[in-house]
């Protein structure tokens, strides 16, 4: 089974890191190669442009693919969105010159909009009932309103910094995007596809979590439970030593500092905090 992933750009490294953390270790690397085997003999990683990945999956060249939701929407392919991988977050926005007269979508009626996402842009304006000419460009989209090529643009932004640098203001958000795991409709129920989805989910579930282990006097167990409810409640085990139990629990990373302080107040000792690589819920 083949899984298509971005071959370069800002999505490449996070994608490879996620696959590695999920246990799909690449055997022969990814530099300047079209594909790589993994430790799973049934899974091969196929490297492609992020924009081409939806077509690879739709055509059956790969069973599943990892790319941005914006790329899938722009491709017009009929794929199944299996999982939000929670990185590569950005927005596709309509923007116009800061000092211009365009303050709403309707102000562009009869105007020209430049973009690298013509399909999404046309659909957006059609839904709003506003007729515009869409000029497809392959780069430097932010410059087009300043050289009289377009009245506004539809482009990707993460923080808005590039737009501000080019004296452009956001008129409206077109769509929000993040990197997703997509599957061909005919492969959704494949066992291997389900295994990969579960593996990736386990990595995402473990993100921002920490595993706590400690010794607790039996008479203070209820108080400790109130401090760390954990996933369905902490795990309690008898240990050698009269009147003591071992308590294990998963807590949010952001709560670790205050949780440890509260646990010590309740009599917990020998508190150990570890990272969690994967968490299957």
CATH code of residue 153: 3.40.190.10
Q: Where in the sequence is the domain holding 118, given as residue range(s)?
A: 90-177
Residue 7: which of 51, 61, 44, 39 has the closest Cα? Answer: 51
Residue 250 resides in a domain: yes
Residues 59 and 194 in one domain: yes
Residue 280 resides in a domain: no
Residues 154 and 223 in one domain: no
Residues 195 and 216 in one domain: no
Sheet architecture: strand order including 133-136? 133-136, 112-115, 152-157, 90-97, 168-177
The pLDDT tens digits for 160-181 are 888 999 999 999 999 999 999 9
Residues 199 and 82 in one domain: yes
Q: What is the pLDDT of residue 31?
A: 57
Residue 121 resides in a domain: yes
Residues 125 and 173 in one domain: yes
- Model's pTM, two decimal places? 0.86
The pLDDT tens digits for 72-106 are 999 999 999 999 999 999 999 999 999 889 999 99
Residues 134 and 67 in one domain: no
Residues 130 and 140 in one domain: yes
Residues 6+ apart with CB under 8 A from 238: 245, 246
Residue 281 resides in a domain: no
Residue with tokens 């530099």: 31
Residues 213 and 193 in one domain: no
Residues 165 and 199 in one domain: no
Residue 142 has pLDDT above 60, yes or no: yes
Residues 71 and 183 in one domain: yes
The pLDDT tens digits for 184-231 are 999 999 999 999 999 999 999 999 899 999 999 989 988 988 888 655
Residue 144 resides in a domain: yes
How many separate domains does the chain show? Answer: 3
Pairwise CA distance, residues 29 & 11, whole Å: 16
Residues 106 and 165 in one domain: yes
Residue 19 DSSP label: H
Residues 270 and 227 in one domain: yes
Residue 84 resides in a domain: yes
């Amino acid at each position: 089974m083949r899984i298509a992933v971005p071959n370069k750009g800002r999505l490449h490294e996070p994608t490879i890191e996620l696959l590695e953390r999920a246990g799909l270790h690449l055997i022969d690397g990814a530099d300047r190669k079209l594909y790589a085997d993994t430790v799973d003999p049934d899974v091969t990683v196929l490297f492609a442009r992020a924009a081409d990945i939806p077509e690879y999956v739709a055509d059956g060249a790969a069973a599943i693919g990892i790319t941005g939701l914006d790329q899938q929407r722009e491709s017009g392919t009929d794929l199944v969105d299996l999982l939000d991988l929670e990185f590569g977050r950005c927005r596709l926005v309509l923007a116009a010159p800061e000092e211009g007269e365009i303050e709403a979508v309707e102000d562009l009626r009869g105007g020209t909009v430049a973009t690298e996402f013509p399909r999404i842009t046309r659909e957006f304006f059609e839904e709003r009932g506003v007729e515009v000419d869409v000029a497809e460009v392959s780069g430097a989209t932010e410059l087009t309103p300043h050289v009289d090529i377009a009245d506004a643009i539809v482009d990707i932004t993460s923080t808005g910094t590039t737009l501000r640098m080019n004296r452009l203001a956001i008129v409206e958000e077109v769509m929000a995007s993040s990197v997703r795991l997509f599957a061909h409709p005919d492969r959704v129920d494949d066992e291997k596809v389900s295994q990969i989805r579960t593996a990736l989910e386990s990595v995402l579930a473990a993100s921002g979590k920490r595993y706590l282990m400690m010794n607790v006097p039996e008479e203070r167990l209820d108080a400790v439970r109130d401090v760390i409810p954990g996933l369905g409640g902490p795990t309690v085990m008898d240990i050698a030593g009269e009147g003591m139990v071992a308590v294990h629990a998963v807590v949010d990373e952001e709560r670790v500092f205050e949780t440890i302080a509260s646990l010590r107040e309740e009599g917990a000792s020998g508190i150990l905090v570890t990272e969690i690589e994967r968490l299957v819920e």
